[in-house]
Structures are given as C-alpha cells and as structure tokens.
Amino acid sequence: MSPSVDPTIPQRDNPRREDDVIERIATIVGQAKIPKGERHIGDDAAVLAPFVGQAVISTDVAVLGVHLDAELFPLEDLGFRAVAAAVSDLAAMGARARAAVVAVTAPVGTDLEELHRGMADASIITNCPIVGGDLSRGRDVTVAVTVVGECPGGGAVLRSGAMPGDELLVTGPLGRSAAGLRRRRDGAPLGDELVVAHRRPWPRQSEGQAARGAGVHAMMDLSDGLGLDLHRLADASGVGFELVDLPVAAGATLEEATSGGEDYELLMATDDPARLRMIFLDRGLRAPLTIGVVVADPSTRTWCGEPFERRGYQHLL
C-alpha cells in the first residue's frame, strides 16, 4: 500500500519512527498523576487497580471524512468526539469511566499530536484517563476508542428493560449537534455555541449514574438520533411507545431534533419519574424532560397519535 497525501489532513514534514511518535504522544495524553499501583502507557498492556462491581466496556470508531468533515473542523475534533462518544456509552449504562485506550491509523505525516490533543481534552473533561494505545499507517485517519468503566453496586442499566406504563424521559433538548453542523456548513465560526455543541459533545455521566441510582428500567444514549434510537430501545424491550412531546433545542429544527444524532443526551424509561426528578435535582442536575410513555403493543409507535417512523443515521456497509 502506498498511502496518498490527502490535502485536507494537517501534515507534518517528515515521517518519524513509531517509538519516537509514541513517546511524544504519551506526553500529550498521559496523566500527570498515575494512581499508585497502576501502570499506563509504555508496557504491553496497561495495569489498573481493581474494579468495583460490574465491569462495563464499549468501543467506538470514528473516521475522518465519515464522522467529521475535515474541511470544516480541525483534526482535534475527531479525537475529542471519538472519546466522548465512547464515554457516553458508559454513561448510558449508568457506569463510571475508569480508563480509555485509543487505536489510531493515519497516512504518513498526519499531525498525530493535534489528533491526540483532542482526545486528551475529552479524557480530562470526562475524567477518563487514556492509559494506552496503538498506531498504524493507513489511508484514512481513524480513531478507535475503547472505554472501560464500573458500576460499583452492580445494576448496569440495559436498553431492554422498559415496561408498559413507564414514562419516557430525556436528559435535555435535542438537535443541538445537528444544528451546529448545519450552522458550520453555512459559515458559522468554530466558536459558535451550537457549532461547539457539535465539536465538543458532553457525555452525561452524572445523569447516567443518577438514573441508575434512581432505578430506571431502561436507558440508552441518543447517538444516532431519537428517530432511530427510540425504536431500538422499544425493539430491545419488546414494547411500543406513544410520544407526546419532542423537546427541540433552541436554534435546532424539528428534523434535527428527531434525526440528528450525537447530542448524547440519555433516553430513560422509569415507573417512578418523580423519584428520578428528585434525585437529579438533589445532585444539581437539570431536570429530565418527559417525552412520552411506553405501551405494551410493540407495533404502537406514535407521536401525537401519528406514526413515528424509524429515521436517523445508519452506515451502509
């Protein structure tokens, strides 16, 4: 394979030896303070202090040009978003992130430091240290992020537990990320509030842990949009739903709130929404928003009485 140079990928002048690059990257993503008894970057594998309770693991891959438009966004955003997406999967189980490892492919000369700076930023805000990684050349810039976390008391929340009669709630209004992408395409600066929502999604770890503590029956993150993910939750639980409200974020359209993914708000089903609200407020979290109710008939999938079609982002493979 002879990788060609893609003009949209920030380049460095000279190809460098793997060991040298890894050393430089380790200083970018490595933690200032590694807990006693742990060993992070630099060995065959990272060593972590014992986990408490159930262990939870998820992996997410992001490809430049598929998951991020290289002409509209800096390369560090690819790294940030990949780490945030993976941590969000832990949040959706009610788990606490413990560590991330990152596997990167890139054409020779790619600015790997910039890419890893984005990952380091997300690692810091999610309190999820990057403890290891791997690098290879390839034609695409790809970032595969794997995160592990723990549920100290057990009880990781699945998407398959929704029961007829449960109230459906989300942790916030929807469509901010999709609106930010549209605004950026229309020329908005990188610092625009909605553009930042697209570039720097914030995984709802505190909300997820609070929801697990409140005993919600089912939970998932809205990574591909409510129009797809709500159907997935209903499919997994063998139920239907009646949507009554669809909270559209300020600046977003209804279509963006329905089909736009990557907000990473959490979708929850519970038979005790009052308790859920109280626990959220106790912890200083924004009150969750009711969007509808779970019904027994799996074929009932409505929004204000009309059919609510499956729609949202799916890769073709």
Closer residue to a second copy (CB): 63 or 124 = 63
Binding mask 148-167 for a second copy (x = CB under 8 A): xx-x----x-xxx-------
Closer residue to a second copy (CB): 63 or 244 = 63
How far apart are alpha carbons 247 and 85 in whole angstroms? Answer: 22
CA distances 81 to 51, 88, 93, 117, Å, are 26, 10, 19, 12
How far apart are alpha carbons 293 and 167 in whole angstroms? Answer: 5
106 binds a second copy (CB under 8 A): yes
57 binds a second copy (CB under 8 A): yes
> Rounded to the nearest 5°, which phi and psi values hold at 106?
-165, 150
301 binds a second copy (CB under 8 A): no
Alpha helices in 70-110 (DSSP H): 75-91
Element (H, E) at 106: strand 96-106
- The CB-of-42 to a second copy minimum distance in angstroms stands at 7
Q: What letter does residue 236 receive in the DSSP assignment? A: H
Closer residue to a second copy (CB): 17 or 33 = 17
Q: Residue 137: which of 101, 114, 112, 108 has the closest Cα?
A: 108
- The CB-of-224 to a second copy minimum distance in angstroms stands at 9
- The CB-of-188 to a second copy minimum distance in angstroms stands at 23
Closer residue to a second copy (CB): 93 or 294 = 93
Q: Which member of 10, 21, 124, 302 binds a second copy (CB under 8 A)? A: 21
216 binds a second copy (CB under 8 A): no
298 binds a second copy (CB under 8 A): no
Closer residue to a second copy (CB): 42 or 165 = 42
**What residues numbered 110-139 form the site for a second copy, per CB under 8 A?**
110, 112, 131-139
Vertex 137: Cα angle to 133 and 141 (nearest 5) = 80
How far apart are alpha carbons 215 and 118 in whole angstroms? Answer: 34
Q: What is the dihedral sign for C-alpha 218, 222, 224, 227?
A: positive
How far apart are alpha carbons 8 and 226 in whole angstroms? Answer: 32
78 binds a second copy (CB under 8 A): no
11 binds a second copy (CB under 8 A): no
76 binds a second copy (CB under 8 A): no
